[in-house]
Chain A
Amino acid sequence: MATISPSTAEIVRQSGAVPGAEYLLEVANVRKAFPGVLALDDVSFRLKRGHVHALMGENGAGKSTLMKIIAGIYTPDSGSFKLKGQEIKLTSPLDALRYGIAMIHQELNLMNYMTVAENIWIRREPLNGLGFVRHDEMRKRTKALFERLDIPLDPETEVRDLSVANRQMVEIAKAVSYDSDILIMDEPTSALTDREVEHLFKIIRTLKAQDKGIVYITHKMNELFEIADEVSVFRDGRFVGEHRASDVTRDDIIRLMVGREITQMFPKETVPIGEVALSVRGLTLEGRFRDVSFDLRKGEILGFAGLVGSGRSNVAETLFGVTPATSGAVAIDGKEIAIRNPGMAMDAGMAFLTEDRKESGCFLLLDIMANMQIALLRNGHARAGFVREREIERLCQEQKLRLRVRTPDLEEPVINLSGGNQQKVLIARWLMTRPRILILDEPTRGIDVGAKAEIHKLITELAGQGVAVMMISSEMPEVLGMSDRILVMHEGRMTGIVDRKDATQVKIMELASQ
């Protein structure tokens, strides 16, 4: 594709540091309205050279909208936009790339059936005289790029064979390959394990040393303090404040984000533990995990820790009959049962909140009511096939109020809801079936602090009512804060079960990586 790089930008870029351009990027008084919502109201944001600037705020606070404006995806209704001291105007993502602004999306945008190298150099493939792609040159460039960033990947691998973490690395390398000065990372760690996060941070530090500016959107407090230099907080489409990361505490940030105090993050209560509800012996799914055994009692929250890919989610899917076990025994309330499909699991009193909201949870195009009632329809609530609409609507309303789903009405398509509200709709779907055993796979992934605390509170409440809860989580504080016991997995094997009183981050990590 021909480069029609605006000449002013080119001059600015070549001259490097223009006097007075301490800030790579200065955005002021930005306003953006969508039909019915004012997404950004008079927001300002500045990014320094060689700094990591974190953006924090609940879902719907306007972080992503601001980032999309900076990346040229949205055009603001008003506001000024300065790149290294020069006023510019972005009209498309390609435009932004030419100015040296690259965004790494939360949903990775890679082509699965192409190699790593092809993905990185797409549209910019080195060509020979006849217009054919020079694969060897492309591979060489990819290797050089990876060495610079310390990414141990083979440029010839197809992207579909890579783990989520490695895809993320490819995305970052791709962004760097544009010689971008500004990199925007939208929750880059949401699908990464602790070790992978460490590697990512190393790369970010390398980039910092090369004088790049990084905008870092995150929901995770500990990351903020580990990697960020500055932090800007947003609430309800407004800019609430900018601080040096070293000057603020975790509680300060939370207060700024939610505009209210959250006194306790994990409202764990000790509730009487009842009889064994779910008993698992030697559960195996060939090729995924083997010999998993545990008892789950009524009122107990059993945490599942381990690295992504250690088989935790596979165990959940197998228990729920999504991928039936190849061997092993499962007993519910003392009665042995071979669960071959999700319907059987539901009939036995189980519910399963899946890991990936978009992929296996939500019916994005359907409205909230359709999303909530679908699991309930299996058992009753219909006469001669006709659904009892009134009854269902009442139950949905009830759940909406109980879970505080923020929506004008139940006919809103869930695609229009924020991540936290989507998650609440899915939880409502399962609560309506009144499960006795609740399997939660990453129940609070990618949702804001407020919704997170509400979900934690709800889980505690359910356990108090005698529901047996199995909770998979990659967030160490969540596992430690919520669980009565923690089962740790590593590469498809169970490496131990730790009691709440003995559980520490170090101990879990040891078991997860032994």
Chain B
Amino acid sequence: MATDISTAGPTSEAPRAGRRRLPPELSILGVMIGMMLLFEVLGWIFVGQSFIMNPLRLKIMILQEAEIGIIAVGVTQVIISGGIDLSSGSLVGMTAMIAASLAQTAGFTHAIYPSLTGLNPIFPVAAGLVCGLIVGFINGWFIAFTKIPPFIATLGMMVSARGVADWYTNGQPIGNLSDSFAAIGAGWWPVIIFLGIAFVFHIALRYTRYGKFTYAIGANPLAARVSGINVERHIVLVYMLAGLLSGLSGIVHTARAISGQAGVGMGFELDAIAAAVIGGTSLSGGVGRMTGTVIGAVILGVLTSGFTFLNVDAHYQEIIKGGVIVAAVVADQYRQRRRKGA
């Protein structure tokens, strides 16, 4: 028997024990704080007031990002599973219209559905969520069973869902929404919803079978299949949840704006992807954390509100924002290469 081997113990790879792992979000959190401090300093120099010590501005900033953030949570898990979702912005517009049409005040004569006014807000909310689930299911089904690239499947859906939103009322906005529905978007609710959702998905990704399968499929779909995971079914589920969250974002937006408009959510999908990517989610799948995405969303918010605070022209804002997104990914790549030691 080859017993000698068993006594030899570890030789070739010397254990590098005792090395504590820092959570990868720390660096991105540092970037966020650094940015806020930078705006603080620039604020005192150019505007003569504090950036951080202004609760109203912070509230507006966070509220703006909450809708993007809700989508980003869904998109993060899609990206971790090795996919992408471009349809979320259009889905926001589509659910905005559908939810608004069921949330109009009682007795409003020009309502979309005159017989369905003054409904309990449960109904528009449920309709919006179901709509998100269905769209997500279609995305997921095409990706899982026809094997077309997620980019193409959701690109198609992005165009079609926007079409549905426009077709719904021929582009007319839907107003006169009930107060009970509008309450969903009032005050801090959008932020609470965003953080609640992020927390739930954070837990789901880390501690449930759902999360572990998602990472596994993103890291190596073939190995996941051989390990007995029903990859197709899981992918459909991932996209359905992403659709659900886009729908939720559409509902929150409509309630906050107290009006349903077909054009809303334009470009949200890219902001959401940017938030995930800034937060360290890898577009090649298998890597990413919800905490990073939340910080990523806040960074986008800090950028927008910081530049507005400094009266920077909106066009410049976009130019710089693009640069920040690319810089974040470059920094991340660099860090990963260094970790591999090559």
Contact = CB atoms under 8 A, between A and B. Distances in A.
Contacts of A235: 11-12
A486 B229 CA distance: 32
A236 B5 contact: no
Interface stretch (B99-107, B213-221, B258-266, B326-334): B213-221
A122 interface: no
Sort chain A's interface into a size bin.
35 or more
A290 to B, nearest CB: 24
B110 interface: no
A364 B5 contact: no
A342 B229 CA distance: 8
B212 A363 contact: no
B310 to A, nearest CB: 39
Interface string B259-291: 000000000000000000000001000110000
A346 B228 contact: yes
Contacts of A360: 220, 222-223, 226
A382 B209 contact: yes
A363 B286 contact: yes
Contacts of A382: 208-209
B16 to A, nearest CB: 4
A402 B276 CA distance: 39
A363 B12 contact: no
Contacts of B13: 37, 60, 406-407, 417-418, 421
A370 interface: yes
Interface string B224-244: 111111100000000000000
Contact of A263 (B2, B204, B216): B2
A423 to B, nearest CB: 13
A386 to B, nearest CB: 5
A448 B11 CA distance: 13
B48 interface: no
B202 to A, nearest CB: 13
Contacts of B282: 365
Contact of A264 (B2, B11, B17, B225): B2
Interface centre among B15, B213, B226, B282 (most CB of A within 10 A): B226
A387 B12 contact: no
A387 B210 CA distance: 9
A36 B16 contact: yes
Interface stretch (A10-18, A299-307, A372-380): A372-380
A375 B227 contact: yes
A389 B224 CA distance: 20
Contacts of A280: none
A322 B16 contact: no
Nearest to A409: B17
A74 B342 CA distance: 8
A359 interface: yes
B220 A364 contact: yes
Contacts of B2: 262-265, 267, 453-454, 456-457
B340 interface: yes
B142 to A, nearest CB: 21
Given A341-B230, A354-B226, A408-B19, A362 B220 contact: yes
B228 A375 contact: yes
A328 interface: no
Interface string A253-265: 0000011111111
B207 interface: yes
A289 interface: no
A31 to B, nearest CB: 15
Given A343-B230, A373-B212, A365 B222 contact: no
A450 interface: yes
A374 B11 contact: no
Interface string B14-45: 11111101000000000000000000000000
Contacts of B215: 363, 366, 370
Sort chain B's interface into a size bin.
35 or more
A252 to B, nearest CB: 16
B8 interface: yes
B10 interface: yes
A59 interface: yes
Nearest to B219: A363
A19 interface: no
B10 to A, nearest CB: 5
B4 interface: yes
A343 B341 CA distance: 38
A499 interface: no
Contacts of A185: none
A150 interface: no
A126 interface: no
A258 B212 contact: no
Nearest to A342: B228
Given A34-B341, A365-B287, A352 B226 contact: yes
A389 B207 contact: yes
A407 B212 CA distance: 22
A58 interface: yes
A450 B220 contact: no
B17 A386 contact: no
Contacts of B207: 386-387, 389
A37 B14 contact: yes
A361 interface: yes
Contact of B220 (A34, A60, A363, A418): A363
Given A36-B16, A264-B1, A382-B209, A236 B11 contact: yes
B219 A262 contact: no
B209 A406 contact: no
Given A61-B12, A364-B220, A407-B15, A429 B208 contact: no
B11 A259 contact: yes
Contacts of A264: 1-2
A406 B17 CA distance: 11
A277 B226 CA distance: 21
Interface string B115-142: 0000000000000000000000000000
Interface in A406-423: 406-409, 411, 415-418, 421
Interface centre among A261, A320, A377 (most CB of B within 10 A): A377
Contacts of A365: 219, 282, 286-287
Contacts of A362: 220, 223
A501 B225 CA distance: 38
Contacts of B10: 404, 406
Contacts of B1: 263-264, 267, 457
B227 A374 contact: yes
B15 A408 contact: yes
Contacts of A36: 16, 19, 341
A35 B13 CA distance: 13
Contacts of A34: 341
Give 3 closest A-B pairs by Cβ, nearest first.
A363-B219, A60-B12, A34-B341
20 contacts: A59-B12, A235-B11, A235-B12, A236-B12, A236-B14, A258-B8, A260-B5, A362-B220, A362-B223, A363-B219, A374-B212, A374-B227, A375-B227, A382-B209, A406-B12, A408-B19, A416-B340, A429-B227, A454-B6, A456-B2
Interface of A: 34-37, 58-61, 74, 235-236, 258-265, 267, 320, 322, 341-343, 345-346, 352, 354, 359-366, 370, 373-375, 377-378, 382, 385-387, 389, 404, 406-409, 411, 415-418, 421, 429, 448, 450, 453-454, 456-457
